[in-house]
Copies of this chain bind each other. A is one copy, B any other.
Amino acid sequence: MNYEQAQIRADIIKALAHPVRLMIVQELKDKDMNFADINQVFEYDKSTISKHLTVLKNAGIVSSKKIGADVIYHIEMCCVNKFIDCIDSVLKQNIEKQQSCLM
């Protein structure tokens, strides 16, 4: 993997490296949602949520479709579950290491 290839991959990872965007992905994992429903999960300004969704869309992690007045968001990243599981395994390992240091 050269730098340019790493750069492209890093951009996709970066899109997931934010708590709000990670939660959005988690919400979309099992079902499509419209903007209003996603926005309602958070207490941020709707423009903030809209921009986070744009980041996810630009990375190819979600897609959007305008239907009448509202916009439906759909997950495109089929390996979300594996991705989250992988991160959780690192997290679990970190916690275990912390525990063992206390003894």
- Give the interface of A toward B (CB within 8 A): 1, 3, 6-10, 12-14, 16-23, 26, 59-61, 76-79, 82-91, 93-94, 97
Copies in the complex: 2
- In the bound complex, CA of A17 to CA of B12 (Å): 8
Q: A97 — nearest CB in chain B belongs to which residue?
A: B60
- In the bound complex, CA of A52 to CA of B13 (Å): 16
- In the bound complex, CA of A19 to CA of B14 (Å): 10
Q: A79 — nearest CB in chain B belongs to which residue?
A: B86
29 contacts between A and B (CB under 8 A): A1-B22, A1-B23, A1-B26, A6-B22, A6-B23, A6-B26, A8-B91, A9-B88, A10-B16, A10-B18, A10-B21, A10-B22, A12-B90, A12-B91, A13-B22, A14-B14, A14-B17, A14-B18, A17-B17, A59-B90, A60-B90, A60-B91, A60-B97, A76-B90, A77-B86, A77-B89, A78-B89, A79-B86, A82-B82
